Copies of this chain bind each other. A is one copy, B any other.
Amino acid sequence: MDYILGVDGGGTNTVAQIADSTGKLITENESGPSNYKSVGIENAKKSINNSILGAIRNLKNSKKIVFKSSCFGLSGNDSDYDLNIYEEIIFNNKIKKYLNPAKTIICNDTRIGLAAGSSSKNSIMIICGTGSNCYGINEKREEAKANGWDYILGDEGSGYNIGIKALRAIMRAYDGRGEKTLLSETILEDLNIKDISELIGWAYSESFSKEKIASIAETVCRTAEMGDKISIKILEEEAKEAVISVGAVAKKLNLTNKEFDLVLGGSVFMCEKYFKAIFIEKLKDKFPKINFKPLTKKPVSGAIRLAIKNL
């Protein structure tokens, strides 16, 4: 049997799938994070090895395996410099014997997410999760991206951005610099925090975590649904940012007047009324021929799909 390998490496975990050449899943295995920018090269290598070796152990005759084709979708893989590092990480002594270098794709995790969500030749993926990112490809195989520069250089439209704005809105209300907002109660409640002075401790005492700030986006969504103007404004602003990202990628790929798929990924899209609906409405106005595709499959399945196309 021919075996196909797909790997989805992210900031939280790494998922490896092995499938047959028709794409039928045989086994899956998960390990720790593998974005070298956040966990370092050695830990990234360990996670990638563990995810693949664990999946291989689930097979019979595991020693004789060489993957016919494989695809790695890795977050943090944004430049030629990064690609060199990931090549070093991937073709290491523990796993290189299983790989066929001529049939190994190493791309960004948005690329596999896009493949998991759309089979159209013209397609864009937008992720609004802890961070945000937008990536697309057209029928000429041209690729383009926008946004996704993380918490300092900017990932507008992300849960992190929503969380930061919500926290600052609380402090503005507390100071008398801004309008009152229900967020002052709901955020403290959801974080199980007594008062503002404890909130300050929460924000600064532990080591900086994008994830804990991004988790506030869920509260903002709930508070918006309670009618809170500040929450609605924050979500609208960030939905518009997501629209701007898609517009920038569509323009670079010459898709402005063409039909294309738009795959939506990331937890912020679970905020239906004040984020997703506004996002969709504004994009429909701009690009009437857009097909919205919620991401229903795991991104790793896109890695399998790309590996099979490369057979």
Contact = CB atoms under 8 A, between A and B. Distances in A.
A239 to B, nearest CB: 14
Contacts of A78: 200
Contact of A167 (B152, B204, B252): B152
Interface string A65-102: 00000000000001101000000000000000000000
A245 interface: yes
B213 A176 contact: no
A177 interface: yes
Interface residues of A, number: 36
A171 interface: yes
B37 A152 contact: no
Interface string A183-217: 00000000000000101100110001000010000
Contact of A177 (B37, B146, B171, B204): B146
Interface in A34-75: 37
Nearest to A178: B244
Nearest to A149: B171
A213 B168 contact: no
Interface string A161-179: 0001001101110011110
A248 interface: yes
Interface of A: 37, 78-79, 81, 145-147, 149-150, 152-154, 156, 164, 167-168, 170-172, 175-178, 197, 199-200, 203-204, 208, 213, 244-245, 247-248, 251-252
Given A146-B175, A156-B177, A177-B244, 14 more contacts: A79-B197, A147-B175, A147-B177, A150-B204, A152-B167, A152-B203, A153-B167, A153-B170, A153-B171, A154-B168, A154-B171, A177-B245, A177-B247, A177-B248
